[in-house]
Structure 1
Amino acid sequence: MKIAFVYDVLYPDTIGGVEKRIYEIGKRLAKRGHEVHVFPMTTGSGNEIIRRDGLIIHPVCRPIGLYTGGRRSVFQAVWYALHLFPVLLRIRVDIIDCQNFPYFPIVISRIIGWLRHENYVITWHECWGEFWYQYLGLGGFFGRLTEKFSLLLSHHSIAVSHHTVTRMKAEEKTCEPIIIPNGITLDDITIIQPFTKQVDVIFVGRFIPEKHPELVIEAIRILVHTYPTITCSLIGDGPMMSELQEKIHDYRLSDNIHLEGFIRDYKEVIGRIKSARVFVLPSEREGFGIVCVEALACNVPIVTTQYPLNAACDHVLPGCGYAAMPNAQDIAKGIQMYLFRQPEVSVIHDYIKKHDWDTIVCLLEQTYNKLILSK
């Protein structure tokens, strides 16, 4: 098969869940003999072909900032979509797999699929619904309208989680999406050794308001009265760094909580997770939450929060984690529950096997073949 993945950035040039999924799936499909094309913003021209890790990279346009004022840039999405049209039109493929966000490329992919009589599928990572109004205020009306229009174009669609399917149906999506989750490279995680320095609690993620790293600090502030020597590592970087540093200083938790900064080495991150007793992700919005599956693969229980848009709650398994209310007191309760309790390893083992990238690639390959044959 000739497969086109449409998304505006490429791993490891940028590090995020969607680009990581495309990279891991794409390189495995290439090893299975398929021709895999990707279309990111990158330096070069659309006529220039770059080959990397089995992927055929078509530079669409020069990179511009993805975010404006902490939000995804509408201008960037339109800029990318307009430049995508001539580049994607030149390539003949069997199927176009367009990622749902930032929506405008969906229209371009659908038009080209119609013009060239090519199969297309839209992969949905999140569906926001009413959250658009919280995100953009009155402008959220246009964001939600765009999302609903994209759902109408999603006759063939893939969703990365049951949570996303539920959200899609709430927005009147009638055609049942196929669930093909995100994954992990289980063999690689298994052989990584734990970090030499052990900690009780660990957080990995961007230091941004929607990830709520401050709730981890607040929870440790509660627990330190019972466990004076409790230790915590926060791995990441972002606009909340100064705020977090001030909280740690003001609460006199410098001996308990350490801000490790952004760690690019994936093996080191996994090693640090393996050295922890509890993994905490109090995020209010996760389309999937790969890092929670990675923590489970390290046999580390997870504590996350019951926000409506947090799909990471799907990974809270019996005896392996806690879905807390979004406040420091309940997060502290979840941490305390697993500080001296081992998770149910057999439950974890059965779950993470379903999320190995090799298993997921087989499912996706079967899905593509069915779509092609049904046309």
Structure 2
Amino acid sequence: MSSTASEDGLKIAYVYDAVYPWVKGGAQKRVWEIARRMADDHDVHLYGMQYWDGPSIIERDGVTLHGVCEPADLYAGERRSIPQALYFAGHLTVPLLRESFDVIDCQSFPYFPCFSAKAHQLLRRSAFVVTWYEVWDDYWYEYLGRKGVFGKTVEQATTRLPPTIIAISEFVRGNLATIGRDEGVNVVPNGIDFYGVDAVEPAGNDWDILYVGRLSSHKNVDLLLDAVLDAEARLGRQLDCGIIGDGPESERLRAYARELGLSGSVTFLGSVESDEEVIGNFKDARLFVLPSTREGFPNTILEANACGVPSIVVDHEDNGGTAVVEDGVTGSIVDFSADALGREVATLVADDELRRRMSEDAREFARRHDWDRIVAEMETVYDRTIAKQ
């Protein structure tokens, strides 16, 4: 623990509209896991939309939760809702300003709440940090067409708000530098409850391949289905592939699996509410495959690692997952094609000894990312930011 934290304790506010466990995603999980551990030694608050019944301010696991507004849909189809982001930011400013904080850690996306947090820094002299998950830059044009210029402008403006940015990976730090923010950027990666994962029992399935994530277009689960077909042809046998997650692509992907004749090979489990059930399914798997082309630092890779499951990711300029997998050591990085992905799946499924070696290295990688280590790194960044005030 850092010196400032150990002597006095800090009053810390985390800001993110979607609150775990009511909304489950990598960013939500990161915020909650850090906040509840910080609460052992600090006065920790979390500002988000009110997903719970009863009073707007409650305490959970030592963290004071502030529900600043009724929950609104985060997505409009596949896209993050801009009206929702403005709605949350508008309701956040006044409740946040009512209290003083040593540190405010606002999550970067969907940007507008960062401006509310900046107001707190200016008016109440808090140390202001933004945790950054992904840099979109020109991807905004693919996402919104001509209107993407507004998203790109807001993203770049947001990078200039805080004195300190916490990037969740070196990959994200490098991308921030490309859009002009290269000073005051610290890297604190995602973490895993390594020893908690060890205590979870397998779910009782037998997966050759497991996918865990949102079923949206940039996750490229259709490529995974093509690769399953390719790998089955190479191995001369049927594979068992489990797909955990839901999203706008769900029905199309189920239909595509049927079209490929994979109904006996692929099981869509939908959204799984229990973290323990997700971990149990990881422990049932030989491989974790994440064909996404847009990631910052995927928590699912750490979860797979902690379970001793090698990961396969695709090589793409926007895929931060390639910085989390050590090719040939903890998993594999392959070209973005069904042929390359299918070939690697077939190779690893057939080679028990290679998977065993990767499994050992993957677990060691996860051990180095236990949440307790991550929280200590966060405290150090907070102390340095306060000292610069």
What is the match of residue 163 of structure 2? Answer: 155
What is the match of residue 23 of structure 2? Answer: 14
Indicate if the aligned counterparts of 2:130 and 2:166 stay in contact, CA closer than 8 A: yes
Residue 373 of structure 2 is aligned to residue 359 of structure 1: yes
Indicate if the aligned counterparts of 2:212 and 2:244 stay in contact, CA closer than 8 A: yes
Deviation at 1:357, TM superposition (A): 0.6
What is the match of residue 27 of structure 1? Answer: 36
Deviation at 1:44, TM superposition (A): 8.3
Deviation at 1:43, TM superposition (A): 5.8
What is the match of residue 283 of structure 2? Answer: 274
Indicate if the aligned counterparts of 1:288 and 1:312 stay in contact, CA closer than 8 A: yes
Deviation at 1:85, TM superposition (A): 0.8
Rounded to whole Å, the distance in 2 between the matches of 1:242 and 1:294 is 26
What is the match of residue 238 of structure 1? Answer: 247
Give 1:2's aligned amino acid. Answer: K
Indicate if the aligned counterparts of 2:331 and 2:358 stay in contact, CA closer than 8 A: no
What is the match of residue 38 of structure 1? Answer: 46
Rounded to whole Å, the distance in 2 between the matches of 1:150 and 1:26 is 23
Residue 106 of structure 2 is aligned to residue 80 of structure 1: no
Indicate if the aligned counterparts of 2:47 and 2:66 stay in contact, CA closer than 8 A: yes
What is the match of residue 293 of structure 1? Answer: 302
Deviates more, 1:346-355 or 1:237-246: 346-355
RCO greater where, 1 or 2, for CA within 8 Å and sep 6 or more? 2
Q: What is the CA RMSD across the aligned residues, in angstroms?
A: 1.8
Q: Runs of 5+ in structure 1 lacking a partner?
A: none
Deviates more, 1:62-71 or 1:80-89: 62-71
Deviation at 1:80, TM superposition (A): 0.9
What is the match of residue 103 of structure 2? Answer: 95
Residue 206 of structure 2 is aligned to residue 192 of structure 1: no
Rounded to whole Å, the distance in 2 between the matches of 1:3 and 1:54 is 12
SS of 1:280 mapped into structure 2: strand
What is the match of residue 334 of structure 2? Answer: 324
Rounded to whole Å, the distance in 2 between the matches of 1:195 and 1:76 is 37
Give 1:279's aligned amino acid. Answer: F
What is the match of residue 128 of structure 2? Answer: 120
User: Across the two proteins, how many residue pairs are aligned to each other?
Assistant: 374
Q: Describe the superposition over 1:44-102 as per-residue Cα deviations: whole angstroms up to 9, x where unpaired.
A: 89994211111111111111111123211111111111111110000111111111111
SS of 2:292 mapped into structure 1: coil
**Are residues 48 and 244 of structure 1, via their aligned partners in 2, closer, same or farther at CA, if it must alter by over 3 Å?**
closer
Indicate if the aligned counterparts of 2:11 and 2:103 stay in contact, CA closer than 8 A: yes
Rounded to whole Å, the distance in 1 between the matches of 2:204 and 2:26 is 27
What is the match of residue 173 of structure 1? Answer: 181
Give 2:128's aligned amino acid. Answer: Y
- The TM-score, its normalising length taken from structure 2, stands at 0.92
**Are residues 43 and 182 of structure 1, via their aligned partners in 2, closer, same or farther at CA, if it must alter by over 3 Å?**
closer
Residue 382 of structure 2 is aligned to residue 374 of structure 1: no
**Are residues 70 and 118 of structure 1, via their aligned partners in 2, closer, same or farther at CA, if it must alter by over 3 Å?**
same
What is the match of residue 7 of structure 2? Answer: none
Indicate if the aligned counterparts of 2:128 and 2:163 stay in contact, CA closer than 8 A: no
Residue 271 of structure 2 is aligned to residue 257 of structure 1: no
Q: Describe the superposition over 1:171-207 as per-residue Cα deviations: whole angstroms up to 9, x where unpaired.
A: 0113141101111100111122223221211111111
Deviation at 1:345, TM superposition (A): 4.2
Give 2:342's aligned amino acid. Answer: A
Rounded to whole Å, the distance in 1 between the matches of 2:101 and 2:287 is 45
**Are residues 349 and 251 of structure 1, via their aligned partners in 2, closer, same or farther at CA, if it must alter by over 3 Å?**
closer
Deviation at 1:353, TM superposition (A): 2.2
- The TM-score, its normalising length taken from structure 1, stands at 0.95
Identity, % of aligned pairs?
35
What is the match of residue 6 of structure 2? Answer: none
SS of 2:280 mapped into structure 1: helix
Q: Runs of 5+ in structure 2 lacking a partner?
A: 1-9
